[in-house]
Amino acid sequence: MVPGCSNDFYIAIGGNIVAQIEFVADEQEVSEQGSIIINHTLVANSYRGKGLGKALVNRVVLHARNENKYIKPVCPFAKMMLENKKEYQDVLM
């Protein structure tokens, strides 16, 4: 898993990006901790169902924990993952 050029992480196989998650800092957040908005998660059709999207959400969660930030999921996939797993509740805003 590699950090991208902006606020994203991606998984590349054979030199091709097959999964990517995009996020931004929430400029409207006024708390000291701040937050991250997950905008989009994309997994190539041929790689769906292999856990790549989950791995990317896990990576953003790790990033948020390391940065002491909360996550606001706008992306439906990330929202479902974060809201349905107890282990993510500490970062969910």
Higher pLDDT, 32 or 68: 68
pLDDT at residue number 2? 46
Q: Where are the domains of the chain?
A: 2-88
Q: In the numeric block, which tokens belong to residue 8?
A: 């994203």
Of 56, 62, 66, the residue nearest 19 (C-alpha): 56
Task: Assess whether pLDDT exceeds 70 at residue 87.
Answer: yes
Quick: pLDDT tens for 5-63: 458 999 999 999 999 999 988 766 555 678 899 999 999 999 999 999 999 999 999 99
pLDDT higher than threshold 60 for residue 1? no
* CATH number for the domain formed by residue range(s) 2-88: 3.40.630.30
Per DSSP, the residues of 17-66 read EEEEEEEEE-TT--SSS-EEEEEEEEE-GGGTTSSHHHHHHHHHHHHHHH
